[in-house]
Amino acid sequence: MDPLSLLRGVLDTTEDAARALVGRERIRLAVTGLSRAGKTVFLTSLIANLIAAGRGARTLPALSDATGGRIRRVFVVPAGTETVPRFDPEAHLGALAADPPRWPERTEDFSTLSIAIDVERRTSLGGLLPERRLTLNLIDYPGEWLLDLPMLRQDYATWSAETLARCRRGVRATAAAGFLAFLDALPADAPAEDALAKRGYTLYRDALRACRDAHGLRFLQPGRFLNPGPRGEAPLLWFFPLPEGARGGLADLCARRYAAYLDDQRSTFLDPYFSRFHRQVVLVDVLGALHAGEEAFRDTGDALSAVAAIVSGANWLERLLGAAPTRVAFAATKADHVPTRARDALAALVEHIAFGARGRAAQSGASVSCHAVAAIRCTEDAVARLDGQAVAAVRGVLLQDGRGATIYPGEVPMKPPEPDFWDAGLFSMPEFRPPRLDPAGSSGMPHLGLDALLAWLIGDLL
Ligand code: GDP
């Protein structure tokens, strides 16, 4: 049988799936990531490994242990009448099961998927009870939208002042040159003309795109300017930050649209979805940021700490939205890009940049945790030689040409590095080829730390 038909069998022809019995107990787990963090791969590996765990494989040992080994069956719930796009497990798992395996195509927007998990139950005397069926609702949303959360605490003037100060610094000033020149030529009392508003919006949006694509920056607001979602680029988005002192009709129009944008994000995303998430994981490619240089690294850190300040202060979010996730994990992805001994440093680094020197212990509200994971492990530890010295490295198969390669990824600091760290030169990582998924779905995908992350996130609910 060809791999795809086998996979199809894994995904939707089980008897249970056909009956589509959805458990009454639901766990809503939201997964997001700052752009290119590895969200699609994370979700795909999560699904493959849960399915394999349901078939008795010990692919997620820490999760199995957290649940006392009671996970019995796991299957993807077939599509019903959902009104939002569905995460496409068949296509994503199919890419990994291909020969040679490919990385799944990335997802851009909002999608969901339900996984049914049957868990064994016993009486206190050890007698078997009917199994409990839980539905794990996975909600995948663009990390760009997460960066709208800090805006909820700012009025238009404060947001404008902060955003423009950032825009005028470092590489951002180059990426935003066209937008800044437009602002400089704009009279303080510019009228409320839509042609002007739209021109400013387009220039500002292009500056955000350049910051992201050419410079690896991540603190980019508002989120929908980069990822407009299913409703496209509506006039609601035609605003941009204006300098202090702007007081004409255009300033009023931008302030009104800023407020309307936040109201709209609240009513279409935060209230119906975000406030109902039980658990949330935020993925960040910290290594990628480290390799992209000082400015990209600092910017990723600023974005992460702004988000961390909001989601871990759950009391504030709860007052605002009525409810908020009760556990939030921050995970540095692609941890297989560094050798074993550097992985603890990676987890420490993500904690440091999210929560500052005092770490997560200083936080109240949502329970937070920081991790280093590789959703799909593509490398083994190896030794390379650098200037005649043996250094800890990783070895994997290159995606490009299928050759084996040993790569030294540089050192991972446990906290944001001192300026001279950047003088040593930057490292870049190649894209590794993922291992091939067994199309029968019984052995899962190799990973690093996915089980411990899941055990912390949902282990208590299973
Ligand atoms: P998204 O934009 O956040 O959905 O990112 P993807 O999940 O599509 O991942 C982007 C790319 O990062 C993939 O195509 C892989 O090359 C790489 N990647 C993601 N996760 C891992 C991982 O666990 N290990 C390795 N080595 N590479 C990964």
What ipTM, to 2 d.p.?
A: 0.99
Q: Do residues 307 and 220 touch, judged by C-beta distance below 8 A?
A: no
Note the pLDDT of residue 13. Answer: 44
Minimal-distance CA residue to ligand 1 atom 25: 334
- Residue located nearest, by CA, to atom 22 of ligand 1: 334
Q: Which of 232, 298, 304, 294 minimizes the C-alpha distance to 264?
A: 232
Closest CA relative to residue 185, chosen from 174, 200, 170, 195? 200
Closest Cα to atom 6 of ligand 1: 38
Ligand 1 atom with least separation from CA of 283: 3
Query: CA-CA distance, 47 to 382, in Å (whole number)?
Result: 29
Q: How far apart are CA 407 and CA 381, in angstroms?
A: 10
Please give the angle made by the CA atoms of 185, 191 and 196, to the nearest 5 degrees.
60
Output the pLDDT for position 22: 62
pLDDT for 445: 95
Residue nearest to atom 9 of ligand 1 (CA): 38
- Straight-line distance from the first to the last Cα atom of the chain, in angstroms, rounded to the nearest whole number: 34
Which pLDDT belongs to residue 364? Answer: 60
pLDDT in tens, the chain (462 residues): 455 555 555 555 444 444 455 667 889 999 999 878 999 999 999 999 999 999 999 999 999 999 988 999 999 998 877 778 889 999 999 999 999 999 999 876 789 999 999 998 888 887 888 888 999 999 998 888 889 989 998 999 999 999 999 999 999 999 999 999 999 999 999 999 999 999 999 999 999 999 999 998 999 999 999 988 777 778 899 999 999 988 889 999 999 999 999 999 888 888 888 888 899 999 999 999 998 889 999 999 999 988 888 877 656 777 777 777 888 999 999 999 999 989 999 999 999 998 886 666 556 666 889 999 999 999 999 999 988 999 999 999 999 999 999 999 988 999 898 888 888 777 888 999 999 998 887 889 999 999 999 999 999 988
Ligand 1 neighbours by CB, cut-off 6 Å:
33, 36-41, 103, 106-107, 333-334, 336-337, 374-376, 378, 431-432
Give residues with Cβ within 8 angstroms of 36, minimum separation 6. 106, 285, 288
- Whose alpha carbon is nearest atom 20 of ligand 1? 38
User: How far apart, in Å, are the Cα atoms of 359 and each of 32, 187, 308, 350?
Assistant: 22, 45, 11, 10
Task: Note the pLDDT of residue 18.
Answer: 41
- Is residue 30 within a helix (H) or strand (E), and if so which, with residue range? strand 25-33
**Ranges assigned E (strand) in 311-459:** 327-332, 367-372, 379-386, 389-397, 404-407
Distance CA 47, CA 114 (A): 10
Partner residues linked to 144 by β-bridges: none
Q: Distance from the CA of 334 to the center of ligand 1, in angstroms?
A: 7
Closest-lying ligand 1 atom to the alpha carbon of residue 429: 26
pLDDT on residue 342: 93
What is the 368 CA–ligand 1 centroid distance (Å)? 24
- Predicted local distance difference test score (pLDDT) of residue 357: 67
76 membership: H or E segment, kind and range: strand 71-76
pTM, entire model: 0.91
Distance 42 CA to ligand 1 centre (A): 8
- Who contacts 205 (Cβ-Cβ below 8 Å, separation ≥6)? 225, 226, 237
- Ligand 1 centroid – CA 62 distance (Å): 23
What is the bridge-based pairing of β-strands 367-372 and 327-332? parallel
Q: How far is CA 339 from CA 102, 346, 347, 385, 451, in A?
A: 23, 11, 13, 14, 19
**DSSP at 341:** G
